[in-house]
Structure 1
Amino acid sequence: MDTTQSPITPEQLAGALRAQAAGVNSLEAAVGLLIEHGTWLHHPDFRAFVTYHPDSGLASIDWANVAHALARGTVLGSSNSALQVLGIACELAGHSLPFGQRWTLAELTAGLGRVNAALVLQAIARRMGWHVLGLTVAINGEIGGMQ
């Protein structure tokens, strides 16, 4: 299979990544979070971890190496919140920091603004399959309101 390092636009890449992730909630959530965040598909450090497969029109992310790069601090030029969103996407895709290191939920969410927090909550809902079940819940910070 002929593969190349993401020679397509971010918009085309978004479609190729969504198509690759289709049907796998964890990957749909991780990919969707990165697409909706709007930073990573434009970022050259991140795109080095993306392979586009022109024969199928699909694209894949090397999640394990993204997590390694985050651990080494080699994904540069991004805000702390963008790096947190990337870390959350890695976790949603099933890839943690290497060598038994873990991010805590507090570390991954500290300082996220309202927009990024809402994107993360949407990604978690997708990961849990709420879109398949047709569930909709208003998130307002109140505990105990779900029935």
Structure 2
Amino acid sequence: MARAPATAEDLEALETDVLAGFVLARAAAGLSDGTISSDVVHLEQVRAWFGRPLWEMEPADADAYFGKVLRGAAKGTRLARVQAIKTYFLFLELRHKIEIHQMTGRVVECPIDEMNRPRGRQEGRLRIPPTADQVGRLFAGWRKDLVPCRKFAPGARNYTAAKLMSEVGLRVNETCKLDLTDIKWDLGRFGKLHVRHGKGARGWARHKLACALTLGATGLPCVQAGVELLIDTGIWLHRPDFVEQFITIDASVATALAFIDWDAAIAALDAGRLPCSGGERAVLRIAAGMSGGIPLDLHDALTSLDQINLAPTAAAVEHAAGLPASGREHA
């Protein structure tokens, strides 16, 4: 029995479903929301110019688009758009090639080929970082040069910025936009930096919450250790169901304070209302044990920790015990 020709509504629905499937597949591959969104924007801009479903694009169409429309665009933009198109057509060929052929009679083929692919240098470069000894000699020599330098203030500023980038890992633009008020010496064991600009400022709502929790635990080493374990592992403070239910913020004071209801959180964990992995469960139980004095099966908790969460957990235990950061080495 011959299949009825596809209507415009059928093709529109297929195009929508294909794009939704593309987004879901990229998310399943572990790409960030920002990367997926960028790919979709590139595809939508090409679709708006083309005026038809992208699977109808041919090499001649790509020639016209990249040779005329994007002729003066930045190289990075051209390369990113090409990559988005190539990835999308790879998805079409793997998942929807037969379906599209049955509905349209068209064989899906990527319009980007060796003749019209924008050229760009994308070869990976091997970067060998300097050793700790080399970095130490660099800053030692730099410090000596500060004494006889003609303009001490700019030299000291540059040295401090470079040292900060070396020790903390900040980017250049993030470091340049720091103020003295962004250094919070009273937060945590070593103080904290308030990065207000650049990539480090993304997700600042969580940064403010972390600062409020740390301030709320000031003067209570065990509570502070448990709070910093949640901050350092970066698990539970990213979950809205945990933050909204078990964290209370006191904004009545000049600097906001935040407190965790450890008993309620563990009760919800035991009741299955906080689904999580074994490692995440162990982190929350250990933090609650240190901060809230809630009993836990230490054997079960420690054997559930993965390699990533083991180091911050050990640091939190040191903090709760009043040991310095290198306590494991000298105890």
Same fold (TM over 0.5): yes
Confirm whether residue 106 of structure 1 aligns to residue 304 of structure 2: no
CA contact (8 A) 1:67 1:95 kept: no
Structure 2 equivalent of residue 45 of structure 1: 241
* Alignment counterpart, residue 68 of structure 1, candidates 255, 259, 267: 267
Q: Superposition pairs for residues 9-88 of structure 1, below 5 Å?
A: 9-47=205-243, 48-56=245-253, 57-76=256-275, 78-88=276-286
CA distance in 2, matches of 1:60, 1:137: 28
Q: Counterpart of 1:51 in structure 2: which amino acid?
A: T
Residue ranges of structure 1 left out of the alignment (5+ in a row): 1-7, 97-101, 140-145
Larger relative contact order (Cα-Cα within 8 Å, sequence gap ≥ 6): 1
CA contact (8 A) 2:251 2:257 kept: yes
Given that 1:27 and 1:93 are in contact with CA atoms closer than 8 Å, whether structure 2 keeps it comes out as yes
Higher helix share: 2
The one-character-per-residue Cα deviations of 1:92-135 (angstroms, maximum 9, x if unpaired) are 11342xxxxx531111111312221111110000001114xxx6
User: Which entry has the higher C-alpha Rg, 1 or 2?
Assistant: 2
**What's the counterpart of residue 89 of structure 1?**
287
How far is the alpha carbon of 1:86 from its aligned partner? 0.5
Q: What are the Cα deviations for residues 18-45 of structure 1, in whole angstroms up to 9, with x where unaligned? A: 0000110111100000000101111122
Question: Alignment length, in residue pairs?
Answer: 125
Following TM superposition, the consecutive aligned residue runs of length 4 or more in structure 1 with deviations greater than 6 angstroms are none
Q: Tell me, what secondary structure is at the counterpart of 2:304? A: coil
Comparing 40-49 with 24-33, greater Cα deviation is found at 40-49
**CA-CA distance at 1:68 after TM superposition:** 1.0
Per-residue CA deviation, residues 54-77 of structure 1 (Å, 9 max, x unaligned), is 22210111111112112212112x
- Give identity over the alignment, percent: 32
Counterpart-to-counterpart distance in 1, 2:293 and 2:220: 15
Q: Quick one: distance in 2 between partners of 1:112 and 1:106?
A: 10
Cα distance in 2 for partners of 1:103, 1:19 equals: 26
The structural deviation recorded for 1:138 is: 4.3
Task: Structure 2: give runs of 5+ residues left out of the alignment.
Answer: 1-203
